[in-house]
Structure 1
Amino acid sequence: MTTPAIILCRPQLGENIGAAARAMKNFGLSDLRIVAPRDGWPNEKAYAMAVTAKPILDDAKLYDDLHEALADLNVVYATTARDRGITKEVITPPEAARRLRKVPAGDKTGLLFGNERAGLENDDVSLADCVITIPTAEFASLNLGQAVLLCCYEWFKAEDHTPVSKIEHNPIHRKPTRQELFQLFDHLEGELTRTGFLFPPDKRDHMSRAIRATIHRAKLTYQEVQTLRGMIVALAKGKHRAQPKE
């Protein structure tokens, strides 16, 4: 499956072209097409904004006419926040990404974006299969770079399998062994017995089980177990550091 081309139609600011390239780099897209940029091409400000995405700008294709930029594409979605009075299906970025992922292998696709001042013209939109509108709370118009970022992200996310939650694989962030937990239980319960907290004796076992259950629910890391043991030592021995003078 080919990745969608990003077509910037008559962009005005080089910074936004660079931001679009950067968004593409972040989410695995590389085919950038620029139609009649206002300030010409190449553009120093675009390169300054692109940072590590400069190769995408190096390979960007420049066109004088939108028809030429779209000529080899089989599926094109146009992004606009305005009601253009044209009979076109309007879809959200996630739906656009879902559909693009289902395009038959070998077919080329593209996402079309207008300029910063007025977006796409009606004639531009008429060349697309449907319209993408990004839902917003109030002000519907987005910065060009932001719009490209959101659409690229949704395309990437449609097939992304990153776990929704994970623990970093740093040795200090690993799960503690049973032995390390047992040592924490013994240490804590020993000090609580010494200070008279686990009293009376006939309730000691029940209270100890409740403490252990609380620790288990916390899902502590190895580092957290060691920190707790250090806290117990400090409290039990009255260890303290000198406080800074006011």
Structure 2
Amino acid sequence: MTDVQGAMVDGEAVRPPVIVLVETQMGENIGAAARAMANFGLRELRLVKPRDGWPNEKARAAASRGDAIIDDVRLYDTLAEAISDLELVFATTARPHDIAKEVESPAVAAHSLMQAARTGAATGLVFGREKWGLTSDEVGLCDRIVTIPVDPVFASLNIAQAVMVNVYEWRRQVLGDASWTPFGEKERSPQASKGDVFAFFEHLEGALDAVEFFRPESKRQHMIRNLRQIFQKARLSEQEVRTLRGVIAALERRPTRLDQARAELERRERDEE
């Protein structure tokens, strides 16, 4: 297996992280990101609604010898769709978000990604728009945050530069460069895919809607976001997702207070007749 398609680590093939670019404005930035990926042995590039459409000749020109990556680009309408088959996803952001998530440096994040990949998990790195990055909701879809420790006096990085820093750290993991690697931590396996987690969220939120949990309506989105973060931080396994959905299904089979009140009203009406 070649480095562009995969990586050999201690004699075993591991799948490199998927790179996801969200609503990238310039084709040149997509191409430069693809070139950086090719330099450091990554293959899969996914685009969420690129501003100038796809295919893009400016992206191909900037990719240099990364044409194979450009040829295999996959397009998505939403970030949720783009990461639904992944199990560990990092959002790259330097902006503060009102979301309680683990924040890791690129080196530590690369170690986490490698640990997950060695268990067979599919992983990814998400990069936002050139002007304002990722939204809080988009960051909320990911498991952790990776932040590059730039000088706060000039903290702005080009998308391709941000990709370069992170994929360079991945390459160090592939080559066994342990100088920045934290030890003593084992990755849990198997972790639930993002698609399974999103389906769990929909199941949970539907059940809570049935009992009118999200009140007042003006706070609904904020409550949903906070609820999701509780489970995102837990990094649920496949078995845990199945268990939780079983719990919800069991609760759905129990009559709610509203159901009981309606039944009682119907009983009284029958008695009066």
TM-score computed with the length of structure 2 as normaliser: 0.58
Q: Distance in 2 between matches of 1:159 and 1:58?
A: 25
Counterparts of 2:174 and 2:79, CA distance in 1? 29
Q: Distance in 2 between matches of 1:15 and 1:113?
A: 15
**Counterpart of 1:102 in 2: which secondary structure?**
helix
Superposition pairs of residues 1-246 of structure 1, within 5 angstroms: 1-103=14-116, 104-138=118-152, 139-160=154-175
Instruction: Give the SS at the match of 2:63.
Output: helix
**Which amino acid letter does the alignment assign opposite residue 65 of structure 1?**
T
Question: 1:25-78, CA deviations, whole angstroms, 9 ceiling, x for partnerless residues?
Answer: 000000000000000001111011001001100001011111110110011000
Q: Which amino acid aligns with 2:150?
A: T
Give the aligned length.
Answer: 163
**Contact 1:10/1:35 (CA < 8 Å) preserved in 2?**
yes
Question: What is the distance in 2 between the residues matched to 1:83 and 1:128?
Answer: 15
Structure 2 partner of 1:177: none
Q: Give the aligned residue type for 2:58.
A: K
C-alpha displacement at 1:137, in angstroms?
1.7
Deviation at 1:17, TM superposition (A): 0.1
> 1:86 & 1:39 partners in 2: Cα distance?
31
Over the residues paired in the alignment, what is the CA RMSD in angstroms? 1.4
Contact 1:2 1:105 (8 Å CA) reproduced: no
Give distance in 1, aligned partners of 2:20 and 2:66: 16
Distance in 2 between the 1:136 and 1:31 partners?
Answer: 26
List, as ranges, runs of 4+ consecutive aligned residues in structure 1 with deviation greater than 6 Å: none
SS at match of 1:52: coil
The residue type paired with residue 11 of structure 1 is: T
Q: Unpaired segments of 5 or more residues in structure 1?
A: 163-246
2:110 partner amino acid: A
* Structure 2: stretches of 5+ with no match in the other structure: 1-13, 178-273
Q: CA deviation at 1:161?
A: 5.2
